[in-house]
Homo-oligomer: A and B are copies of this chain.
Amino acid sequence: MSADPAPRGRLPAAARADRRDAILDAAEALLAEAGYAQTTMAEIARRAGASKGTLNGWFGGREGLLAAVMERNADRAAARVAEALEAGGPPRAVLTGFAEGLLGLLTGPSSVALNRAAMGTPELAALLLASGRYRIGPLVERYLARLAGDGMLVLDDAGEAFAVLYGLVIRDTQIRVLLGEPQPGPAARRRQAEAAVEAFLTLHGNGRTTARGGG
C-alpha cells in the first residue's frame, strides 16, 4: 500500500498526520492478522517503516499505541452508526440498515482484533467500552425514543428496548467470531438483521405504521 520509503527528517504538520495514520494502519492490520500477542512494537515499526523510538515517542508505549488504534476505530464506528440512523425513511428500513451495519461491524476483523486485545488489558477494555458501547448505545436509544414519541413504537424504556434489539441482532454471533469462527457473509448478516428487526417490531411495534411492507 504505502510503498513510499519512510521520510527521514523533520515532518510538516500535514505529513505528520498522514504518517500517524499510516502507523495506526500498520498496527491495526498486524493486530487483525497476527493477534495481540504477536503485535510487537518491533514488527509494527518494521511494517510502518518507522523506528521503535518514534512509536514510543508518539504514543507513549505499546498500550498507548493500541489505545490510539482503538479510538480511531471507535470514531469511525460511531460515525457509521449515526449515519445509518439519520438515513431517514421507514423505521423498518432504518433499523434493518443499522442492524446489518452493527452486525458487520462487530464481527469485522478490526473490531474482533481490538476486542480480543482488550480482553487482555483492563485499561484497553475500559476504553473500548467507553468509546464503543457507551457512545453507540445512546445514539440508538435516542432514535428509538423518537419513534416511540411519534407513536411508531411501544416501549417503556429506550435502554431496555435497545438491549433487546441488540440481543436479537447479535445473538451469539460476536462471541463465536471472537472465539475463532469465520465472520458470517453479507447475505447471512442481512438475513439475520431482517429477522431481528421483524422480531423487534413484533415485540415493540404498534402493528400499523411499522407493519411489513407498509410505508
Taking Cβ atoms with an 8 Å cutoff, the residues of A that contact B are 35-37, 115-116, 118-120, 122, 125-126, 128-129, 133, 160, 163-164, 166-172, 174-176, 178-181, 195-196, 199, 202-203
With beta carbons under 8 angstroms apart, the residue of B36, B37, B119, B195 that contacts A179 is: B119
> For A180, what are the chain B residues with a Cβ–Cβ distance below 8 Å?
122, 125-126, 129
Most interface-central of A133, A168, A176, A179 (chain B CB within 10 A): A179
How many protomers of this protein does the assembly include?
2
> For A176, what are the chain B residues with a Cβ–Cβ distance below 8 Å?
129, 133
A203 shortest CB reach to chain B, Å: 6
Q: Are B120 and A119 in contact, with the CB atoms below 8 A?
A: yes
With beta carbons under 8 angstroms apart, the residue of B118, B163, B196 that contacts A171 is: B163
Apart from the given pairs A37-B120, A164-B199, A203-B203, 17 other A-B contacts in the complex at a CB distance below 8 Å: A116-B120, A119-B120, A120-B120, A128-B179, A129-B176, A129-B181, A133-B172, A133-B175, A160-B195, A163-B171, A163-B172, A167-B168, A167-B171, A168-B168, A199-B203, A202-B202, A202-B203
Q: Are B178 and A168 in contact, with the CB atoms below 8 A?
A: no
> For A37, what are the chain B residues with a Cβ–Cβ distance below 8 Å?
120
